Amino acid sequence: MESGRGFRYFCKMHANFLNDLNTVQRQAADTTEGPVMIIAGAGSGKTRVLTYRIANLIFKGVDPFHILALTFTNKAAREMKIRIGKLVSESDARNLWMGTFHSVFAKILRIEAEKIGYPSNFTIYDTDDSKSLIKTIINELGLDDKIYKPNLVLSRISSAKNNLISDREYNDNAEIIEEDRKSAKSKLGLIYSLYNQRCFKASAMDFDDLLYKTNVLLKKYPEVLYKYQQKFRYILVDEYQDTNFSQYLIVKKLAAMHQNICVVGDDAQSIYAFRGANIQNILNFEKDYPELKTFKLEQNYRSTKTIVQAANSIIKHNKDQLKKVVWTDNHDGEKISLLQAGTDNEEGQIIANRIFELKANHQLANSDIAILYRTNAQSRSMEEALRKRNIPYRIYGGLSFYKRKEIRDLLAYFRLVINPKDEESLKRIINYPARGIGKTTLEKVIATAAEHQLSIWEVLVNMSQLRVITGASAQRLTEFVTMIKSFQQALTGNAFDLATHIARSSGLLKELGADKTPEGVSRQENVLELLNGIQEFIDTESESEDEVQERTLEVFMQDIALLTDADEDEKNDPNRVSLMTIHASKGLEYPAIFVVGIEENLFPSQASLSSRTELEEERRLFYVAMTRAEKFLTLSYALMRYKYGQIQYCEKSRFIEEIDQDLLILPSGAPKSGALLEFDDERTSFRSFNRKEPGIGSLKPKNNAATPLKPKSPTAFTPTRSDFVPDDTSNLSSGMQVEHERFGPGKVINVEGKPGDKKATIIFQAFGQKQLLLKFAKLKIIA
DNA sequence: CCAGTACTTAGGTTG
DNA sequence: TAAGTACTGG
């Protein structure tokens, strides 16, 4: 079958290419048959081993189509493909099945969708969609959303799915029922069932469904399981310590036939237990495959001796761990600096100063440096300080491009056009931009849908037969349906043309164009950027050879559904300091690392203190943070910090005490807040500088002048005119020119409603289309 | 319907 | 403090 593929690569690769690896690494990469577990300490060249192992498989003649490699992020998959491409050939690398669990199995689910009753163009609900649907259900059931908090409900449902507990099993399980009853949330099971029904009716799957339904598919259809067992003869799983039960079982089933399964992980770096990841999977692995060969990668190539020893001294305080000794041949390096600041703001200033010193003394670039923190809220004081010193930075994990409102709005149009049953999208845009479809009308439609067991879309399409809504409202709903249908006609055509057409004729671009504030302009630019992205998508060729897909809008949407902001590439100025949470830093490395806010109740976090397992997870998190550093590691804490606008007094973290103290440089006379060093620019010039409030200097009031004020909205500039005398509008009709006290001149395009309670739709020159109730609106009739 | 105001709440977050 | 939602007057 594998007709001597190795031959083709003989010239390109010298047979001894595995000599680039150390002994254990080489064994791990060359033991290609049978179950293998690789325990890979931090910085031990794990990615390198995976890369070489896959290249080795291809070199030995395995067809890339038969290799499945599951990674933690799409970015990791992309980078690994590039590296493998350089070892073998780009076309072979392209043909690998490589990606996250979610993206790989979403692909498979689309192929097999009809077996489980879904269309292949099913929508993927993201967390916001899920939450919004849960909110709807809670409201419909008349439950209190303070008891049934959408976040909590979702995490409960998610955890059920990740443990493969169906809604039926949930509702039949005495233990679960008792647990929910005790916490006064006995309706959770009902919400779970309704949520599933609604997702199914909307032809939608949430993130957890992608794994759950894969399990259902493989269990219910042995022939499908067989097909993929045949296909995936070699399976590799990265970051195995962070997989959950649902993922574990998928892998176990797929690997059952050939048993060529290789998992790579490090129990010391397991930091996602809080959402279902299970270290037990590693222990299970040994039970499932008694023939297993285990390799321990213990030599660290990343960090100095100091950093490796410090990290080891931390992790040894955890009881639960596999035996492993991480060591390094690297230099001792510098000691770890510990900095103490008076307040969170001062912490930012000290760090910024320190970054200047490091860059000046050690020829580091901004991009060699990362600041890591426990919670996103901590980024503020760091940003402020960096901005003041003109140090360019980039924040990971902020509001990603695809989460911006204007982008979600346009994507909702695309989603609805592709899958008109997608109710979350429909509700989002049916009246945006405003087209006079009010809350009452929509509620009537939803009620009708529930009554007849139809989707909202089906009600809209069959409105004339159902005769629930009549008159002007029905007219506008019909117009909406006609518009969406006309978009659907163009689905097979050019994706960019269709997308642009939708953005224009939905009125979305016009709506955004009406807003002349800087924010408004930037929203418009974002939409244009998305359209550019679609053009770019069309211009790039399809990833894999076996699916020569048309670059339609539908395919584009499938592509971006599972993106995260870790996937965004750095277009402008790559030379920036990186800011991110420790969670987001997993798998990354930098010459210089700052870990900030190492205080009790923050790191370890307050909530983790009550249980040993949670505290140990925090400690692993600290271990991950420290082991990101290659040469320079700086830790810091503050004595005071703002939390929810209140001052909180802090104590340095127990984790600091746990570090081998010989490796630390303790805060030698932490700078008093009276005299900080203030740098002017990137040169080393600096001057002493006195703060305004001696003593408690850094507890300065917020909203200082350094923070740019938000530009005022145009509304604020339009004075309320005392000479404005409104006209009688009881006979207002379409086509009339009017003037509004605040919105200025505009043209009436529609008037409806009973006399005395009329609603007018007016396009204002400067403010776009608005609907106004005439009993309130003060209008002057011009013509 | 629109827009300003009062009130509530707050963890880390793959895809 | 900041963001998001619910309420209310025009």
Which tens digits make up the pLDDT trace of A738-777?
888 888 888 888 887 777 778 888 887 777 777 788 888 8
Per the structure, the residue whose CA is closest to nucleotide C3 at C1' is A644
Tell me, what's the pLDDT at A206? 94
Strand B contacted by A581 CB (< 7 A) = yes
Is the shortest CB-to-strand distance from A642 to strand C under 7 Å?
yes
**Nearest protein residue to the C1' atom of B10, measured from CA:** A644
Which of A678, A684, A685, A683 is closest to A346 using CA atoms?
Answer: A678
CA at A430, C1' at B3: how many angstroms apart? Answer: 22
Closest nucleotide to A566: CA versus each C1' = B14
Segments in A467-585 forming alpha helices (H) = 471-489, 495-505, 508-513, 518-539, 553-560
Q: Report strand pairing: A675-679 vs A686-690.
A: antiparallel
- Who among residues 484-513 of A has its Cβ near strand C, under 7 Å? none
Q: How far is the CA of A518 from the C1' of B11 (A)?
A: 33
State pTM to two decimals.
Answer: 0.85
Compute and round to an integer the Cα radius of gyration of chain A: 30
Residue A702, CB, less than 7 Å from strand C? yes
- Nucleic strand C under 7 Å from the C-beta of A645: yes
Amino acid letter, A257: M
Closest alpha carbon to A125 in A217, A198, A214, A216: A198
In the 262-301 stretch of chain A, whose C-beta falls under 7 Å of nucleic acid strand B?
272, 274-277
For the stretch A497-542, pLDDT in tens is 999 999 999 988 888 887 777 777 878 888 898 998 899 888 886 6
Query: Using alpha carbons only, what angle is made at residue A547 by residues A9 and A55, rounded to the nearest 5 degrees?
Result: 25
Closest residue by C-alpha to C1' distance, nucleotide B2: A772
- DSSP code string of A591-609: EEEEE---BTBBTTBGGGT
CA-to-CA distance for A154 and A195, rounded, in angstroms? Answer: 10
Provide the CA A523 to C1' B2 distance, Å, integer: 21
Q: Find out whether A209 and A561 touch, Cβ atoms under 8 Å.
A: no
Task: Give bridge partners of residue A299 from the DSSP assignment.
Answer: A327
How far apart, in whole angstroms, are the C-alpha atoms of residue A429 and residue A425?
6
Instruction: State the residue for tokens 């277009």.
Output: A571
Q: Which nucleotide is nearest to A375 (CA to C1')?
A: B12
pLDDT score, position A346 = 92
Q: What are the phi and psi torsion angles at A28 (to 5°)? A: -65, -35
The dihedral through the CA atoms of A611, A616, A617, A622 has a sign that is positive
Q: Which residues of chain A have pLDDT under 50?
A: 1-12, 669-721
Proximity of residue A777 CB to strand C below 7 A:
yes
Within A 762-781, residues with CB less than 7 Å from strand B: 767, 770-773, 776
Strand-strand pairing, A293-297 and A590-595: unpaired
Q: Which nucleotide is nearest to A161 (CA to C1')?
A: B15
Evaluate whether A253 touches A288 at the Cβ level (below 8 Å). Answer: no
Q: Which nucleotide is nearest to A145 (CA to C1')?
A: C5
How many Cβ atoms sit within 10 Å of the Cβ of residue A523?
19
Q: Which of residues 107-146 of A touch strand B (CB under 7 A)?
A: 127, 146
Q: Gap from A644 CA to C2 C1', in Å?
A: 8
Q: Which nucleotide is nearest to A702 (CA to C1')?
A: C1
Q: Residue A623: name the closest of A301, A309, A273, A368 by CA.
A: A309
The dihedral formed by the CA atoms of A565, A570, A576 and A580, expressed in degrees to the nearest 10:
10
Alpha-carbon distance of A258 to A234, in angstroms, equals 8
Nucleotide nearest to A778 (CA to C1'): C10
Q: Is the CB of A75 under 7 A from strand B?
A: yes
Q: How far is the CA of A750 from the C1' of B3 (A)?
A: 22
A244 touches strand B (CB under 7 A): yes
> How far, in Å, is the CA of A742 from the C1' of nucleotide B4?
14
Backbone angles phi, psi at A476, to 5 degrees: -70, -35
Predicted local distance difference test score (pLDDT) of residue A121:
93
* Strand B contact nucleotides, protein CB < 7 Å: 1-4, 8-15
Which residues make Cβ contacts (< 8 Å) with residue A440, sequence separation at least 6?
A: none
CA at A706, C1' at B6: how many angstroms apart?
Answer: 29
Among protein residues, the one whose C-alpha sits closest to the C1' atom of B1 is A772
Across all strands, nucleotide nearest A106 (CA–C1'): B15
Whether the link from the prior residue into A119 is cis, omega within 30° of 0, is no
What integer pLDDT is reported at residue A572 of this predicted model?
A: 65
Q: Is the peptide bond before A433 cis (omega within 30 degrees of 0)?
A: yes
Q: Pairing state of beta strands A737-740 and A779-781?
A: antiparallel
The phi, psi pair for A249, rounded to 5°, reads: -70, -35
Q: What does the DSSP assignment read for A364-376? A: --GGGEEEEESSG
pLDDT at A567: 61
**In whole angstroms, what is the distance from residue A82 CA to residue A260 CA?**
24
Torsion over CA: A413, A419, A420, A422 (sign): negative
* Any strand C atom closer than 7 Å to A644 CB: yes
Cα–Cα distance for residue pair A771/A773, rounded to 1 Å: 7
Using a 7 Å cut-off to protein CB atoms, list the covered nucleotides of chain C.
Answer: 1-2, 10
For the CA of A437 and the C1' of C9, the distance in angstroms is 23
Q: Name the nucleotide with the smallest C1'–CA separation from A775.
A: C10
Query: How many Å from the CA of A364 to C1' of B8?
Result: 46
Burial letters A379-412, b for 16+ CB under 10 A, else e: bebbebbbbebebebbbbbeeeebebebbbbbbb
User: Which tokens go with A245?
Assistant: 């039960």
Residues of A marked active site are found at 46-47, 238-239, 269, 628
CA to C1' distance (Å), from A658 to C4: 40
User: CB of A362 under 7 A from strand B?
Assistant: no
**pLDDT for the residue numbered A542:** 62
What is the distance in angstroms measured between the alpha-carbon CA of A263 and the sugar C1' of C8?
Answer: 60
A39-52: b (≥16 Cβ within 10 Å) or e:
bbbbbbbbbbbbbb
Q: Which residue is the nearest neighbor of C9, CA to C1'? A: A776
**Beta strand segments in A61-148, E:** 67-71, 97-100, 123-125
Chain A window 180-209: residues with CB closer than 7 Å to nucleic chain B are 207-208
Written as six digits, the tokens of A543 are 């990833």
What spatial distance separates the first Cα and last Cα of chain A, rounded to whole Å? Answer: 82
Measured CA A538 to C1' B7 distance, in angstroms:
48
CA–C1' gap, A647 and C1, in angstroms: 11
Q: Is A708 near strand C, with its CB below 7 A from some atom of it?
A: no
Q: Is the CB of A611 under 7 A from strand B?
A: no
Strand C reaches within 7 A of the A399 CB: no
Give phi and psi for A647, each to the nearest 5: -80, 135
In three-state secondary structure terms, A647 is strand
CA A312, CA A238: separation in Å to the nearest integer?
23
